[in-house]
């Protein structure tokens, strides 16, 4: 594994994103929706850097790659958000990686059905090389090349989520 983003770099990016969110949400109390499982570390760090009082925090879980490092091209909602959590709210969806974009696009589509007042996307890593579904990222920590990465919440077959830095797997 090769170090791609150190915990110091990650902390600086998260701080920058939190500052931007604090500016943009100065007059509202947003709802944060984390995408499980990969975004749990990112969301936890991000929300603790934000000064804006958050209205609530929810989680959404979609079907994953499983043991594969390549997208299956489909995404299903496994665990949704509670009724009434989203409607009329200013929602920030917090995602780990946008690779093909299929999972993120499915999650956004699902949340839009609940008629939020606004819906923005905050992403840890953008891997634009293999994009299939177009998604607009409103807040981004880092763009990375087409490598499979682990750590800071990201896994390969459920391993390495606890690493504080982000590493690229050797090809
Ligand atoms: P997409 O639907 O192809 O954009 O895949 C998005 C999901 O796949 C992310 O939310 C991650 O959970 C997972 N994923 C994509 N690339 C990586 C990676 O490099 N490391 C770990 N998980 C990844
Ligand atoms: Mg995963």
Which residues have a Cβ under 8 Å from the Cβ of 133 and sit 6 or more positions away?
100, 101, 102, 104, 105
Find the residues whose C-beta lies inside 6 A of ligand 1: 38, 64-65, 71, 95-104, 148-150, 154
Question: How confident is the model at residue 138, as a pLDDT?
Answer: 98
**How much distance in Å is there from the Cα of 19 to the middle of ligand 2?**
27
**Has 165 been annotated as catalytic?**
no
Predicted structure pTM score? 0.95
**How much distance in Å is there from the Cα of 88 to the middle of ligand 2?**
30
Rounded to the nearest 10°, the torsion over CA 25, 28, 34, 40 is 70
What is the tens place of the pLDDT at every residue in 54-87?
999 999 999 865 556 666 667 889 999 998 999 9
Mean pLDDT calculated for residue range 15-23:
98
Which member of 45, 96, 99, 126 is catalytic? 99
């Amino acid at each position: 594994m090769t170090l791609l983003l150190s915990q110091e770099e990650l902390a600086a990016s998260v701080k920058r994103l939190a500052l931007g969110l604090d500016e943009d949400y100065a007059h509202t109390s947003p709802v944060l929706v984390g995408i499980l499982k990969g975004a749990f570390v990112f969301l936890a760090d991000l929300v603790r850097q934000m000064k804006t009082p958050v209205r609530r925090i929810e989680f959404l879980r979609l079907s994953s790659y499983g043991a594969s490092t390549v997208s299956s091209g489909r995404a299903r909602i496994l665990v949704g958000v509670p009724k009434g959590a989203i409607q009329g709210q200013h929602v920030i969806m917090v995602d780990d990686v946008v690779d093909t974009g299929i999972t993120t696009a499915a999650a956004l589509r699902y949340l839009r059905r609940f008629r939020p007042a606004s819906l923005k996307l905050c992403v840890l890593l953008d891997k634009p090389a293999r994009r299939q579904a177009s998604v607009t990222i409103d807040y981004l920590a880092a763009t990375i090349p087409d490598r499979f990465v682990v750590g800071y919440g990201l896994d390969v077959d459920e391993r390495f989520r606890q690493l504080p830095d982000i590493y690229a797997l050797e090809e």
